[in-house]
C-alpha cells in the first residue's frame, strides 16, 4: 500500500472516530474494502474492542483491529482443517510489535496516561499509527 493510500485511510479512520466510532471500529472500517466483510459487519465485530477491550482500558482498540484484520485477510476459512492460524498470528504479532515499538505500550490506560498522567499517545494518534502499520504490514 502506498503512502498516499495509507494517508487516505488515516483520514477516513479519523472521520469515523469523529462520527463516534470507537478506535477499533475506526481502524477496521477504514480497511473494509480489503477484507471479505462489509463495513456494517466489521463495525459490529469490532464494537466490543473499544476503550481497551470492553471498556476495561486493556489492549488498545486501534491496534486490536490489526488482529481482526489479519484473521480476515489470512484465514482460509476452512472449518475442517483450521490451517491458517500461524499466518494470521504472524501478521497480527508484527503489527502489534511495531505499534509497541513506536508507542512504548499497547495498553489503553498506559497510552492515555490514566494512572500516571503521562500521555504516551492519544486515541487519534493511536488510530493513525495503527492504520499506517496495518497498511504496511497487511496490505
Evaluate if residue 19 carries a pLDDT over 90: yes
Evaluate if residue 32 carries a pLDDT over 90: yes
Rounded average pLDDT over 37-45: 96
Rounded average pLDDT over 68-89: 96
Q: What is the pLDDT of residues 88-137, one digit of tens each?
A: 999 999 999 999 999 999 999 999 999 999 999 999 999 999 999 999 99
> What's the whole-number average pLDDT of the chain?
97
Domain ranges of the chain: 3-137
Which pLDDT band holds residue 36 (cuts at 50, 70, 90)? confident
Q: Residue 42's pLDDT is what?
A: 97
Q: What is the 3-state secondary structure (H, E, C) of 9-67?
A: HHHHHHHHHHCCCCHHHHHHHCCHHHCCCCHHHHHHHHHHHCCCCCCCCCECHHHHHHH
Residues 61 and 109 sit within 8 Å (Cβ to Cβ): no
Q: Residue 9's pLDDT is what?
A: 98
Amino acid at each position: 500500500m502506498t503512502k498516499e493510500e495509507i494517508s487516505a485511510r488515516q483520514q477516513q479512520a479519523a472521520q469515523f472516530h469523529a462520527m463516534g466510532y470507537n478506535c477499533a471500529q475506526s481502524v477496521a472500517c477504514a480497511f473494509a474494502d480489503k477484507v471479505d466483510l462489509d463495513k456494517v459487519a466489521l463495525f459490529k465485530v469490532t464494537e466490543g474492542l473499544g476503550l481497551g477491550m470492553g471498556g476495561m482500558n486493556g489492549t488498545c482498540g486501534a491496534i486490536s483491529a490489526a488482529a481482526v484484520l489479519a484473521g480476515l485477510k489470512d484465514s482460509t476459512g476452512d472449518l475442517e482443517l483450521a490451517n491458517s492460524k500461524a499466518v494470521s498470528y504472524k501478521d497480527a504479532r508484527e503489527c502489534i510489535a511495531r505499534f509497541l515499538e513506536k508507542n512504548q505500550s499497547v495498553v489503553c490506560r498506559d497510552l492515555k496516561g490514566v494512572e500516571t498522567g503521562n500521555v504516551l499517545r492519544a486515541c487519534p494518534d493511536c488510530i493513525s499509527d495503527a492504520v499506517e502499520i496495518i497498511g504496511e504490514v497487511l496490505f
